[in-house]
Amino acid sequence: DTAVSQTPKYLVTQMGNDKSIKCEQNLGHDTMYWYKQDSKKFLKIMFSYNNKELIINETVPNRFSPKSPDKAHLNLHINSLELGDSAVYFCASSQGTLVEGGDEQFFGPGTRLTVL
């Protein structure tokens, strides 16, 4: 059984398009995250939700909007895609927030986004 799943695995699209990445976890965790990993392998947190509430919102362009319909799902919608958005996006989950055992996070397989 997949613990944290993301769809799609690959996403190739044109500049200016709008796209979404979906994430689901079946671990019963309360906290979910979105990360961006660039071509140099730098991992950067973008957002974190705890029980559907936004708790971490890093300096990310407004074109990125997370949505958590329930605590098992955290989707990422990106408007007006730019070349610089090309990266691998990882979803992750943890039992609690970062100060409540959230340092042990379970990552999804990643979505490789390529903007042409």
Partner 1 sequence: GQSLEQPSEVTAVEGAIVQINCTYQTSGFYGLSWYQQHDGGAPTFLSYNGLDGLEETGRFSSFLSRSDSYGYLLLQELQMKDSASYFCAGHDNYGQNFVFGPGTRLSVLP
CA distance linking residue 15 with residue 97, whole number of Å: 35
Please report whether residue 9 would count as binding partner 1 according to CB under 8 A: no
Please report whether residue 22 would count as binding partner 1 according to CB under 8 A: no
The single-letter DSSP state of residue 15 is T
Instruction: Enter the tokens of residue 48.
Output: 């974190």
Q: Looking at beta carbons only, is 2 or 17 nearer to partner 1? A: 2
Please report whether residue 42 would count as binding partner 1 according to CB under 8 A: yes
Please report whether residue 102 would count as binding partner 1 according to CB under 8 A: yes
Q: Looking at beta carbons only, is 80 or 114 nearer to partner 1? A: 114
> How many residues comprise the chain?
116
The residue type at 86: S
Please report whether residue 39 would count as binding partner 1 according to CB under 8 A: no
Question: Among 44, 63, 79, 114, which residue sits at the site for partner 1 (rule: CB under 8 A)?
Answer: 44
Judged by DSSP in three states, 49 sits in: strand
Question: Among 1, 14, 28, 41, which residue sits at the site for partner 1 (rule: CB under 8 A)?
Answer: 41
The single-letter DSSP state of residue 85 is G
CA distance linking residue 55 with residue 26, whole number of Å: 21
- Residue numbers at the binding site for partner 1 (CB under 8 A): 40-45, 48, 55-56, 90, 92, 97-100, 102-110
